Structure 1
């Protein structure tokens, strides 16, 4: 019965495809003769959504209230409440206790010693993971101290710790609620998917309006930005708990709350750690952008270096963020792994005493030996002149060939492709995308992409959206052309796996703004610099998924191909590649998402796409246009996500049918 139904469905889809395809071809040939209303979006069809959103948020921030208490009073009170833990963490980690003001300032107590913190964290790393992580922690701490980045790093760490804890608590609460209620889960998943694709800048606009300028406002923006991966990870982690484990908990008389806290969450810790790692990475990425609204720390140094085109200083501060990110990432992974494997005896009570002793003793000694508390400024190191000199040398000696590459790429590839997209009737692009959605995912996918395209068109952002599409498409094509073949090549060479993974981890933790610095230094502002930066940022997932796709090909299929006399190329073409295709398509999807997120940051170097619209709105304080332009970026991301996930699902079904 089920087979008959499936055959009827396939037959119906096939008939629909045969009917739709000739119609699509006829429309393509008729495109040059379209009337103006079908060529470009008419002004009368554009809805003032930006005005509606701006007026609504302004009303919410200024006039909305209940019982004499306005919404703005509540948000400002929350901002003031958030200031206290931020200030306390800064006192402990970065600034120390200071009394008096102006020339009468006196440091009553120093912050925690850089050497004590480094040794204490290294001890934790040693007990959790071993000597490798301990050495990495020591090198990271020494780098921050010797290069004069310790205070900035601790300021950043104070914000990161508070943001991560807040996002963790909120993400767990929302994820648990979504897990227990299918209706809530569908709504939460839709909201979180949109939140993950909205540009970073778009979060700053309502935050400024509602919470004002300062570290607390940056805290709220960062938590909202970093929340989705924790929610998704919580739902997936709780669903992964084996049913027999849950049945055993019920048989032993556990209540619902006891089952959650004593069974489900402990079993789900390894998967929850994945979400926690993503929260840490996204928080550290956001701290640079949040420095625009008062976050301070290393992020502000990177942003200031970008504005001054000081590549060396920006690189040093960016590597400071990488040092924090890598250490936090490895520590959380190690802790989760130990708990999931029920490892015991790794951490003892005396280790806690020793770690606290290291912190206290070296902090007290810093009263006598100040260099134990903070490394002396006159002994700090810097490589900024070297990096700036290297960039200057390259510009001086290789200006002509670099400019020739830039000019040729712009004139021969980028500008023609952009002009083609802008000249193509918007209705034809919409029809092509909808047909792709129907062919890959059926009516539901087609209707989804149609609704998203109409939102872009009817809000008046069609042309900037096409510029975003052109840059994203080129960047993704180049990143995939580099990343997938390299990942596939590395997958068959195990000795390269660990070094490549280390490089990929570093690339994915490097702040987005750092990618802009060398591109601008070498190729000046413009679309080509943005393209270079986006490709550099988006190539990592292409390599990672290329490796993962080949790794998960069943060995028995490869052995069967070898036994049947297939050559290595035939084995790759007809066995490995089809088996890896679902994973590779998910890698394409992730590459597109990374490219779009970086493209918005690239607005700082003078692009003219949706990211520039968002950034311009931020500088002007125009909330409505900034949010709507950000939602248009989200629409492009969701269209790509819908098409690529439908293609991956179709490839997986096809692969299953072949080997059924």
Structure 2
């Protein structure tokens, strides 16, 4: 007879105190830590905020900013004299800038007719006629909005950035797939790169490459590289070992095994990695308008700066169509489901016929003097959009303004006051305590170091303001995401309706979400938070839905047979058994909210994002870099705390 085992209370999966599967003691402990923070805030105010109970001392931060400004000035003065720049960064900058100009000139030479025909033919060949129509509609939007030249500039930037990202990312991914040691070494670097908000990438590359297209290409390539490396490594590692061993036993060299077995068998997965890299490049190229990238992103940036929602909408529509078209084309290359079925003996003639059509069209257009789409044939929809915004403001402006003011005064301002007005050392202690409670000793150490570094950088009030905005938006995002995810798991019809909507939302560059938020709520933190909530919702809904649907049916049937109600089934079985998906939903939701809240500086959200933008605009490199590093620290803290405790090994 097997010996009876004493039940472990930490393995209990029921009760409202354990919706995410965490031990029951964690939530009371977290509430006690937060209560101590609140008590410290009121005690500090009651004592008149003595020096030892105030915000982080700013002397060190001011000294660091001054040193960073001096370093930036030295680089600017010695950019054309230092060997590091003369024979290093300047060569890279000139090469990348020339590549963007060359690709842009090629697109210009092809004329709008040739580019459109080539794009439609490529879309049809790799993805079928439906995607070809999407590509045609995309080029039509470029032309009719009068943004053809800006669209070609953006396309040239994306092509150059993706080529640079894949030139380094694919070999690194192959190496990581074949070498376990290299994979372990590069994995934390990739994890770190993928949790960084896009804004945090801008300043370091401006330092070495200046303002303009070269810096935009480098930052976009670096931002787009991690998924290419990670997915390529995964694809190579998952190739059937039997096939590799069989090829090796026949005397094949490692190079032959790679080129004739691993890469061909991993092709489709690698192409999906390329798709992800392209989509990240589309997002980052738009954000890089802040550092002089030009193109459609600059059109949105300038329109938002003038609070011209109509012009921003036009450029945003062009970016949305570009993102959708590139996603559909590159995604179809990855799975190959929609590729036209052409017999092998006809493929070369079809390719030759397509090239002949393109050459004929381009030659005819050049002879007729056709170049870019004539601006006088464009349709300006900015006035109707601005008129609609004015009408909406007259009808619902008071309501949205009241809602925004209520959110600001009742939620955001008190939370910001709590974080900025509490003793800095108490905030650090509570952050470390929360890290230990939810994720263990290592997360506590990371949390403590992250907050101390934020203070030393001299941007403590701005960082606490950013953290308050992130927490507010994250709570709303997770509440909505869990509710909608649970409903979707209960209804196949709702899940089917939501799928294309969520797909489209995850395709859009984050910059675009700011446009409707500004139209409805004006400028300030509130539209930034609204945009952050909408931007972060799709992955949260997906993960909650997938997690609940992944609960074994036998477990559900057993719970039903014991008389569990639907609410009991959800709270005592489904949510606890979906712990991994729920934790990932929390983690992804909060990280995405952070990236969007920081970007909200472009619409008046202030805080750390404003430090980055203001530092770039006014050549205050110290402030910009300090703000960017503080964003990184907040990202590390939020990422580590929301990863949860690792389950102990049996």
* TM category, shorter: 0.7 to 0.9
Question: Which structure would you say has the larger RCO, counting Cα contacts within 8 Å and 6 or more residues apart?
Answer: 2
Aligned-pair CA distance for 1:201 = 4.0
1:41 aligns with 2:56: yes
Which of these residues, 134, 137, 146, is aligned with residue 136 of structure 1?
134
Provide Cα deviations, 1:40-79, integer angstroms capped at 9, x if missing partner.
Answer: 324566584444445455556655999x734245322222
CA distance in 1, matches of 2:249, 2:76: 52
Moved more, 323-332 or 158-167: 323-332
Task: Evaluate the alpha carbon distance shift between residue 148 and residue 498 of structure 1 in structure 2; reply closer, same or farther with a 3 A threshold.
Answer: farther
Alignment check: 8 A CA contact 2:310 2:383 kept: yes
Which of these residues, 611, 624, 646, is aligned with residue 626 of structure 1?
624
Alignment check: 8 A CA contact 1:305 1:314 kept: yes
Moved more, 241-250 or 75-84: 241-250
User: Paired residue for 1:528?
Assistant: 526
Task: Evaluate the alpha carbon distance shift between residue 579 and residue 626 of structure 1 in structure 2; reply closer, same or farther with a 3 A threshold.
Answer: same
1:608 aligns with 2:606: yes
Which of these residues, 248, 271, 274, is aligned with residue 273 of structure 1?
271
Mapping 1:136-155, distance limit 5 Å? 136-155=134-153
Alignment check: 8 A CA contact 2:30 2:434 kept: no
Task: Evaluate the alpha carbon distance shift between residue 599 and residue 29 of structure 1 in structure 2; reply closer, same or farther with a 3 A threshold.
Answer: closer
Alignment check: 8 A CA contact 2:514 2:531 kept: yes
1:77 aligns with 2:91: yes
Alignment check: 8 A CA contact 1:163 1:223 kept: yes
Aligned-pair CA distance for 1:299 = 1.6
CA distance in 1, matches of 2:26, 2:382: 59
Alignment check: 8 A CA contact 1:164 1:279 kept: yes
1:510 aligns with 2:524: no
Provide Cα deviations, 1:441-469, integer angstroms capped at 9, x if missing partner.
Answer: 33222222222222112222222111111
Alignment check: 8 A CA contact 2:127 2:338 kept: no
Alignment check: 8 A CA contact 2:79 2:85 kept: yes
1:398 aligns with 2:396: yes
Aligned-pair CA distance for 1:473 = 0.7
Aligned-pair CA distance for 1:470 = 0.5
Mapping 1:211-250, distance limit 5 Å? 211-250=209-248
User: Paired residue for 1:353?
Assistant: 352
User: Paired residue for 1:303?
Assistant: 301
Mapping 1:462-611, distance limit 5 Å? 462-611=460-609
Aligned-pair CA distance for 1:436 = 2.6
User: Paired residue for 1:636?
Assistant: 634
Aligned-pair CA distance for 1:23 = 10
The DSSP-based 3-state class of the residue aligned with 2:578 is helix
1:451 aligns with 2:465: no
Alignment check: 8 A CA contact 1:318 1:511 kept: no
CA distance in 2, matches of 1:23, 1:166: 50
Moved more, 254-263 or 189-198: 189-198
Which of these residues, 431, 434, 437, is aligned with residue 432 of structure 2?
434
Task: Evaluate the alpha carbon distance shift between residue 194 and residue 37 of structure 1 in structure 2; reply closer, same or farther with a 3 A threshold.
Answer: farther
Normalised by the length of structure 2, the TM-score is 0.86
Task: Evaluate the alpha carbon distance shift between residue 555 and residue 357 of structure 1 in structure 2; reply closer, same or farther with a 3 A threshold.
Answer: farther
Size of the alignment, in residue pairs? 627
Alignment check: 8 A CA contact 2:486 2:548 kept: yes
Task: Evaluate the alpha carbon distance shift between residue 248 and residue 36 of structure 1 in structure 2; reply closer, same or farther with a 3 A threshold.
Answer: farther
Which of these residues, 83, 86, 106, is aligned with residue 92 of structure 1?
106
Which of these residues, 105, 120, 123, is aligned with residue 122 of structure 1?
120
Aligned-pair CA distance for 1:165 = 1.2
Aligned-pair CA distance for 1:572 = 2.2
Alignment check: 8 A CA contact 1:237 1:272 kept: yes
Aligned-pair CA distance for 1:143 = 2.6
CA distance in 1, matches of 2:610, 2:179: 39
Task: Evaluate the alpha carbon distance shift between residue 161 and residue 46 of structure 1 in structure 2; reply closer, same or farther with a 3 A threshold.
Answer: closer
User: Paired residue for 1:166?
Assistant: 164
Aligned-pair CA distance for 1:612 = 1.4
Aligned-pair CA distance for 1:345 = 4.7
Task: Evaluate the alpha carbon distance shift between residue 558 and residue 506 of structure 1 in structure 2; reply closer, same or farther with a 3 A threshold.
Answer: same
The DSSP-based 3-state class of the residue aligned with 2:211 is coil
Aligned-pair CA distance for 1:391 = 0.6
User: Paired residue for 2:253?
Assistant: 255
Moved more, 184-193 or 288-297: 184-193
Alignment check: 8 A CA contact 1:156 1:297 kept: yes
Aligned-pair CA distance for 1:557 = 2.7
Aligned-pair CA distance for 1:164 = 0.6
Aligned-pair CA distance for 1:394 = 0.8
Aligned-pair CA distance for 1:380 = 2.3
Moved more, 586-595 or 70-79: 70-79
CA distance in 1, matches of 2:43, 2:290: 48
Aligned-pair CA distance for 1:158 = 1.4
Which of these residues, 372, 382, 385, is aligned with residue 383 of structure 2?
385
Task: Evaluate the alpha carbon distance shift between residue 623 and residue 233 of structure 1 in structure 2; reply closer, same or farther with a 3 A threshold.
Answer: farther
CA distance in 2, matches of 1:62, 1:159: 28
Aligned-pair CA distance for 1:626 = 1.8
Alignment check: 8 A CA contact 2:26 2:438 kept: no
1:362 aligns with 2:361: yes
User: Paired residue for 2:47?
Assistant: none
Provide Cα deviations, 1:463-507, integer angstroms capped at 9, x if missing partner.
Answer: 211111110011111122222322332234334445423322332
Task: Evaluate the alpha carbon distance shift between residue 587 and residue 27 of structure 1 in structure 2; reply closer, same or farther with a 3 A threshold.
Answer: closer
Moved more, 302-311 or 266-275: 266-275
User: Paired residue for 2:15?
Assistant: none
Task: Evaluate the alpha carbon distance shift between residue 276 and residue 428 of structure 1 in structure 2; reply closer, same or farther with a 3 A threshold.
Answer: same
CA distance in 2, matches of 1:172, 1:404: 51
1:203 aligns with 2:201: yes
Provide Cα deviations, 1:107-140, integer angstroms capped at 9, x if missing partner.
Answer: xxxx2443x4434433433343334323322322
Moved more, 219-228 or 130-139: 130-139
Aligned-pair CA distance for 1:306 = 1.2
Provide Cα deviations, 1:329-359, integer angstroms capped at 9, x if missing partner.
Answer: 1222211213999x98588212212321231
Alignment check: 8 A CA contact 1:206 1:623 kept: no
